Amino acid sequence: MQPYIDQTADFVRRQLTHAEAGHDWWHILRVWNNVKFILLHEQADRMTCELAALLHDIADSKFHDGDESIGPSIAGEFLANINVATEVVTHVQAIISNMSYKASLGIVSFHSKELEIVQDADRLDAMGAIGIARAFHYGGFKNRELYNPNIPPHVHQDKEAYKNSTAPTLNHFYEKLLLLKGKMNTATARRMAEERHVFMEQYLTQFYKEWEGN
């Protein structure tokens, strides 16, 4: 099992050499570490979880004109090439296609304990101090305002509207980041999410205090 994981980690590290900071190798490494921690407390197939964590952002649809099939096909082709068993390959592909936040807003077509774990690990990396850094990094990439008191946050029902929204980055906290704690699949991730959630709330309190100038 370890040679498959090592080869996959090498492949992903090379593929993501020039990736932007929100989805670079360090994001993958953090998600992989979250998966390993969750697996200390949850029962699931370790190889599937680790391979899916490593490959889950190999081609983000946001940077491929919304094409959600590129990631799973690159991952599948790579794993088949290094002779990973077909059922593991298929499972990893299913996890990658089903774990995006957007997939979770729509019809979810696939369930497994392994999907739950990798999804939790990825969502944890969107919370807390790292989550805040990633949100402002993404907002900068999209040239968004940090905050605008005249634009209240609201939850976008429509996926396209959400993607194309020009809302300030602070709105993203209310539209997604503060909701993540309630979306954890496993008890272990729910515990890990607690501290990160409290930190984001404290951050917002401080943000408004400074915004008002005191």
Quote the least distance from Cβ 1 to ligand ADP, whole Å: 26
Q: Nearer Cβ to Ni ion, position 50 or 57?
A: 57
Under the criterion CB under 6 A, does residue 9 sit at the interface with ligand ADP? no
Under the criterion CB under 5 A, does residue 120 sit at the interface with Ni ion? no
Span of 11-19, 85-93, 169-177, 182-190 interacting with ligand ADP by CB under 6 A: 169-177
Quote the least distance from Cβ 206 to ligand ADP, whole Å: 19
Of 34, 48, 97, 100, the residue at the interface with ligand ADP (CB under 6 A) is 100
Alpha-carbon span 131 to 52, nearest angstrom: 21
Quote the least distance from Cβ 101 to ligand ADP, whole Å: 5
Of 72, 122, 131, 200, the residue at the interface with Ni ion (CB under 5 A) is 122
